[in-house]
């Protein structure tokens, strides 16, 4: 182990939080994960790995305290009654096994949830529609309702204590927690002692703090998570005014302040729209208002930035959700001086999509995230090689890099070949788009690891033919040659090529993202057609707009870059394009394209609901629809399978985008999975390839279903 650099000693100082003490300043703040009460063993294993990785405090996701505020279909934690205790105790045991404190974020979401499962009527300070689009309204709480919520919260705090938690939260963050709904004038129109003045609006939060401390404060620390700024200016809570004043009123009541900004899309901004430490301007004043420890977040991955935040008095504990997902061993690597080994969060928010889609969490940088229990994957450990087979990986994009790195870690002799002069594959182009420079960390991290390995050799500018692959005599061959964008419009909306797109007088004016990245000059005005619905079309529109081109963006969806709703950046993307002057047409497809007599293209647009047609003239058409696998080498090798044995080849496998195009996270996962399963033997297609959690009909019976060996 490398001796710790004394510059970072401050990060490893213990911090007292009420009746408990954390061993260091690394604090995994509460974060959702798509597992919650539905997959408690998976959840416990994931949190336990973080504790093993050195986090001093590891917190839960939101934990529902009552069926009167549940957030189905999302999988959060539950402490509705004592029957829920065994499931959450799995997590506290996993954290304590590695010396970490476990924190429980209790919540009552008020008008923020429609109670789809329980069908109970939501409650809020005042009558208001729920946040979701469900045609349901939350009713205004009376004094009995307030007393009930206080009672439910106290009971849940006691259950959290009995489940082994060391820190118990009162949650008033993200515009989700009921205490925040009372504090904000936007959602509190009451005229009694719980409304009007800020002191009155803070009353409910004060009561929950006092109730919780009275219930569990002798053994558990009591934390408050509060959004000190809603980023709404005078229409909401601001850090200069009511956010500051609310902290001042309650300054010494909690044992810890966990402060952030609202709502969740502001708190967890992607790297495309924010830098490391971006919340400091909103939370820096909190420590001047209280003597209690303060934790804040800001997607910190640099140990120097962490030390600076502490020494400047911004916070006492470095809070992290996404950096702890990208690298659960971040604290240990800093302590051991292994800075090159840190998997830095790229700020893509693929982790958030798990919760939004109600499936287990995943991560672009860390392909083991969410797989700790069901597949037994560990972010730092992998089984050694089971044979002396040599491996050729063709393609040094995200799949090939991760595949070569993981195989090298296992001890295999690996050759990694790429036709280009740089590693990174699709990441080279993605990272050149506005705001996406951090995405190159995916390639950089893996190259740093590969460069340390004597058993992995990299060959750039090496385009291989099937004959050359056969001549080399590698035992295992993986084809990770990526994908290319189509130029005919085929995609979700168009199952056939767009009419007229292949005409000789049209085709030269039609471009794909690959053409843009290759340096093609697109004449203005440009029509971008987005049937991909992720980041690409919006980012290209921004890039071309910044180059001074007139840009029109057309999409069959109801909004631009619709999937980025899942990464919580859609509103920022569309707002930014509108401010740039990009002309946007939604619910619109392309019915046909022809050459315009006056030059350029005549595009026939069609409303996706009514099929009403509208003409649009443009000089160039940029299609962002779908990608085809670049699998020609794989196909050529398959055609010569009869020659494999003589060449010493046991298997040829197509992986990543070359097999089926997807996200960067999916590409990295594919490479990691292929490396883990190289010598595991093939499972029958009808075998579930991971362990499942089965909950018994009566009680909690967590039965494990193991993957056959």
Q: Which residues are catalytic?
A: 32, 171, 174, 267
- Residue 97: both structure tokens together: 């096994």
Burial class of residue 545 (count of CB atoms within 10 Å of its CB; 0-12, 13-18, 19+): buried
Nearest to 616 by CA among 607, 601, 603: 603
Torsion angle (degrees, nearest 10) of CA 47, 335, 167, 267: -80
Q: How far apart are CA 645 and CA 287, in angstroms?
A: 69
DSSP 7: G
Q: 664 Cβ partners below 8 Å, 6+ apart?
A: 348, 350, 364, 398, 426, 427, 430, 439, 442
Nearest to 60 by CA among 21, 95, 18, 86: 95
Mind giving me the DSSP string for 665-705? HHHHHHHHHHHHTTTS-PPPTTS-SS--EE--SSS---EE-
Q: How far apart are CA 598 and CA 472, in angstroms?
A: 56
Peptide bond into 703 cis (omega under 30): no
- Residue 664: both structure tokens together: 């960067």
- Residue 427: both structure tokens together: 């990441």
Q: 71 Cβ partners below 8 Å, 6+ apart?
A: 62, 64, 109, 112, 113
509 phi and psi angles, rounded to 5 deg: -100, 5
- Residue 312: both structure tokens together: 């400047």
224: left (phi over 0), alpha (psi -120 to 50) or beta: beta
Place of tokens 């030269």: 508
Pairing of β 601-607 and β 613-618 = antiparallel
Classify each residue of 499-515 as buried b or exposed e, where b means 16 or more C-beta atoms within 10 Å of its C-beta.
ebbeeeebeebbbbbbb
Contact (CB, 8 A) for 449 and 405: yes
- Using a CB cutoff of 8 Å and minimum separation of 24, what contacts does 80-85 make? 81/159, 82/159, 82/162, 83/699, 83/700, 84/37, 84/159, 85/159, 85/162, 85/163
Pairing of β 693-694 and β 703-704 = antiparallel
Q: Helix, strand, or coil here: 413?
A: strand
Q: How far apart are CA 629 and CA 10, in angstroms?
A: 49
Query: Residue 300's beta-bridge partner residues?
Result: none
The three-point CA angle 79-85-91 to 5° equals 100
Q: How far apart are CA 506 and CA 493, in angstroms?
A: 21
Q: 151 Cβ partners below 8 Å, 6+ apart?
A: none
């Amino acid at each position: 182990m490398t001796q710790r650099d004394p510059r970072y000693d401050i990060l490893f100082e213990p911090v007292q939080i009420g009746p408990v003490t954390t061993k260091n300043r690394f604090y995994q703040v509460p974060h959702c994960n798509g597992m919650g009460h539905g997959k408690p063993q998976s959840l416990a294993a994931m949190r336990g790995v973080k504790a093993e990785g050195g986090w001093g405090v590891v917190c839960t996701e939101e934990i529902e305290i009552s069926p009167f505020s549940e957030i189905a279909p999302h999988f959060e934690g539950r402490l509705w009654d004592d029957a829920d205790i065994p499931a959450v105790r799995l997590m506290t045991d996993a954290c304590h096994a590695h010396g970490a404190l476990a924190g429980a974020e209790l919540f009552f979401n008020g008008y923020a949830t429609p109670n789809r499962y329980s069908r109970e009527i939501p409650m809020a300070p005042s009558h208001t529609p729920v946040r979701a689009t469900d045609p349901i309204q939350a009713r205004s709480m009376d004094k009995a309702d307030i007393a009930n919520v206080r009672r439910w919260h106290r009971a849940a705090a006691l259950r959290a204590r009995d489940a082994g938690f060391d820190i118990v939260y009162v949650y008033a963050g993200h515009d989700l927690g009921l205490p925040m709904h009372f504090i904000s004038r936007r959602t509190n129109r009451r005229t009694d002692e719980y409304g009007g003045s800020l002191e009155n609006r803070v009353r409910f939060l004060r009561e929950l703090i006092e109730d919780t401390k009275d219930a569990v404060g002798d053994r558990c620390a009591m934390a408050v998570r509060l959004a000190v700024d809603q980023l709404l200016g005078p229409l909401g809570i601001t850090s200069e005014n009511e956010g500051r004043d609310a902290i001042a009123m309650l300054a010494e009541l909690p044992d810890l302040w966990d402060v952030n900004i609202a709502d969740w899309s502001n708190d967890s901004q992607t790297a495309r729209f924010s830098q490391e430490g971006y919340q400091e301007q909103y939370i820096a004043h909190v420590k001047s208002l209280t003597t209690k420890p303060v934790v804040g977040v800001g997607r910190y991955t640099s140990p120097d930035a962490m030390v600076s935040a502490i020494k400047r008095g911004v916070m006492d504990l470095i809070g992290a959700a996404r950096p702890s997902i990208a690298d659960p061993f971040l604290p240990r690597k800093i302590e051991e001086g292994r800075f090159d080994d840190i998997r830095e969060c790229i700020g893509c928010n693929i982790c958030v999509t798990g919760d939004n889609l109600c499936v287990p969490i995943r991560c672009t940088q860390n392909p083991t995230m969410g797989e700790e229990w069901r597949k037994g994957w560990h972010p730092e450990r992998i089984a050694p090689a089971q044979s002396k087979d040599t491996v050729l990986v063709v393609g040094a994009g995200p799949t090939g890099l991760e595949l070569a790195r993981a195989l090298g870690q296992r001890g295999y002799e690996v050759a990694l070949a790429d036709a280009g002069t740089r590693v990174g594959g699709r990441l080279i182009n993605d990272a050149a788009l506005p705001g996406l420079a951090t995405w190159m960390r995916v390639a950089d991290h893996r190259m740093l690891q590969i460069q340390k390995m004597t058993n992995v050799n990299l060959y750039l500018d090496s385009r291989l033919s099937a004959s050359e692959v056969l001549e080399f005599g590698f035992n295992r061959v993986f084809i990770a040659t990526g994908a290319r964008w189509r130029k005919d419009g085929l995609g979700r909306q168009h199952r056939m090529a767009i009419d007229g797109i292949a005409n000789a007088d049209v085709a030269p004016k039609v471009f794909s993202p690959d053409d843009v990245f290759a340096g093609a000059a697109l004449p203005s005005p440009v029509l971008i057609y987005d049937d991909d619905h992720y980041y690409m079309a919006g980012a290209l529109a921004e890039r071309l707009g910044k180059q001074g081109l007139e840009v029109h963006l057309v999409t069959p969806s109801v909004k631009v870059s619709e999937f980025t709703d899942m990464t919580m950046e859609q509103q920022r993307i569309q707002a930014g394009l509108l401010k740039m002057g990009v002309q946007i047409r939604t619910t619109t497809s392309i019915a046909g394209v022809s050459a315009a007599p006056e030059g350029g293209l005549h595009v026939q647009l069609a409303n996706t609901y009514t099929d009403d047609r509208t003409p649009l003239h443009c000089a160039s058409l940029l299609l962002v629809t779908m990608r085809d696998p670049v699998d020609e080498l794989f196909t050529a090798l398959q055609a010569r399978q009869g020659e494999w044995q003589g060449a010493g080849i046991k298997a040829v496998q197509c992986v990543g985008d070359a097999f089926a195009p997807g996200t960067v996270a999916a590409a990295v996962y594919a490479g990691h999975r292929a490396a883990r399963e190289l010598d595991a033997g093939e499972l029958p297609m009808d075998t579930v390839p991971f362990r499942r959690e089965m909950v018994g009909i009566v009680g909690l019976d967590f039965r494990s279903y193991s993957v056959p060996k």
